[in-house]
Structure 1
Amino acid sequence: MLRRSCLLLCLATALWACQPDTQPQPGPGYGYFPLEVGRYAEYEVTETNYLLNQPTPTTRTYYLRETVIDSSTSLDQQRVYRIEHAVRNAPSEPWRVDSVLTAWRTPNQAVRTENGQPIVRMVFPITERTPWNGHVYTTLGERWFEARHVGTPATVGGTLFERTATIVRQDDSTLLSQQRQLETYAEGVGLIRRERIAVQFCSAGSCVGQGVIEFGLKQVSTISRYGKR
């Protein structure tokens, strides 16, 4: 009887060991860059402008809405989506369309135009600190992007997003200047926060190295609403 029980135990153990791993495996990350007609997102944008020889910067807030309005198939059979870009200065004002962008996603990358240039916003699968040339299809010269904090939660605009990834497009800082572009994406939502900094610091006298801004721009966009129409 004891021998039979031992045999049954060994058999059960062997069968358990042969079972496939049923734990969910991480996907490529397509959910960070959703493309679907009718999707929209609204952002509050705070912009701080530093002017030369002006002791106090000027700050303004405006609002941005992006809506996927339609899609079409290109000659190479790629599905391309058109995104309507609209702005307004106050929540009580009507939206004013100022441009239309395009975006597409392949099995390996997500691309979106910016000032007429196709920028590779992310590559798939999204992995921590894997670099790629975001300007590979442009005439702008190389610019190496990388993803950080992949799959981590983040709170933006008072909303907790369970899985996010931050794309570092640029993060250069010296005693004389700072250039930074960060974009945070949430799974199933898309872009939820953007930070852009392009400033020049004091370059003469006792303020050198103190981080005193002489001129430049800081801009932060945070998502306020999103969904599908």
Structure 2
Amino acid sequence: MFKKHNLWFFFLLFFLGLCEGCRQMNHEPTPDDAAFFPLQVGDYWVYQVTQEKYLAIKSSLKSSYQFQEKIKSSYLQNGQLFYLVEESTRQTEQSAWKLTGIHTVYKSLSEVVSQENNVPMIELVFPILLTTSWNSNLYNTRPDTKLQYQNQGKAYRRGPLGFDRTISVMGDNDSTLVNQSKYFRIYAPNIGLVYREDVAVAFCQSSSDCIGKGIIESGATMKWELIASNRLLNTTK
């Protein structure tokens, strides 16, 4: 009887060990994951944006301006808390902000979803793991767009701002003889998006003189760099 009791005891320990292993394999999201996309009414982020639009071969239009996102309010819908984000632009720090758009965003235990022009897109998924990838267009009719995490925990510095720990999100990053595309984001905990880069250009194919030489014929490139936020005032960089 004693031996049988010990046998059941060991089975119990083995079963509990399996349960613990399953729990760890589930990689439950932690508050630290959610901190990479903070949301609170009153939060704002200001970015210096540089953009270049290619109109023809060796002809482009460059522009630089500031872009602000500010959370104005929140509301409950079907038990989910949504945040209303105002988008504004201005040419310089001395210019007045001009409202250019409004979008919504929500954060659940599993993902962050933003919706612009009634098109929902998955920005982040939880938990944050380098093995994680997702389709950002899962909730809309656009072509599938795969995103994945990179550079987990990597320090990032650009200009006067530096962050000891970040996570990057990489999408398309392809370059062929015909075109080049890139989707890249960097997030810092308790601050949010600190850098963004988008590239979608087509290379010249009209003559043998330009084919294969990386000469851009059309498209655009855009970079966002965080320069101000209420969260920078309360966060150790």
Q: Same fold (TM over 0.5)?
A: yes
1:43 aligns with 2:43: no
* Per-residue CA distance 1:73-130 (angstroms, 9 max, x = gap): 10x2001001110111222110011111100111011111133211100110111142
Task: Give the structure 1 partner of residue 208 of structure 2.
Answer: 205
- The Cα shift of 1:140 comes to 0.8
Q: Please, which runs of 5 or more residues in structure 1 have no aligned partner? A: 1-25
For the residues of structure 2 that align with 1:39 and 1:95, how far apart are their CA atoms?
A: 16
Q: Please, which runs of 5 or more residues in structure 2 have no aligned partner? A: 1-28
Match of 1:206, SS state, is coil
1:182 aligns with 2:184: yes
Q: One-letter code of the match for 1:46?
A: T
Q: One-letter code of the match for 2:211?
A: V
Task: Give the structure 1 partner of residue 105 of structure 2.
Answer: 103
Task: Give the structure 2 partner of residue 62 of structure 1.
Answer: 65
Q: Aligned ranges for residues 75-114 of structure 1 at < 5 Å?
A: 76-114=78-116
TM-score w.r.t. the length of structure 1 is: 0.83
Kept after mapping to 2: 8 A contact 1:41/1:226: yes
- The Cα shift of 1:34 comes to 0.4
1:31 aligns with 2:30: no
Aligned residues: 203
* Greater than 6 Å deviation, 4+ residue runs: none
For the residues of structure 1 that align with 2:55 and 2:163, how far apart are their CA atoms?
A: 36
Q: One-letter code of the match for 1:98?
A: T
TM-score w.r.t. the length of structure 2 is: 0.81
For the residues of structure 2 that align with 1:106 and 1:58, how far apart are their CA atoms?
A: 40
Query: Percent identity, aligned pairs only?
Result: 30
For the residues of structure 1 that align with 2:116 and 2:173, how far apart are their CA atoms?
A: 19
For the residues of structure 1 that align with 2:118 and 2:176, how far apart are their CA atoms?
A: 30
For the residues of structure 1 that align with 2:143 and 2:178, how far apart are their CA atoms?
A: 23
For the residues of structure 2 that align with 1:95 and 1:127, how far apart are their CA atoms?
A: 37
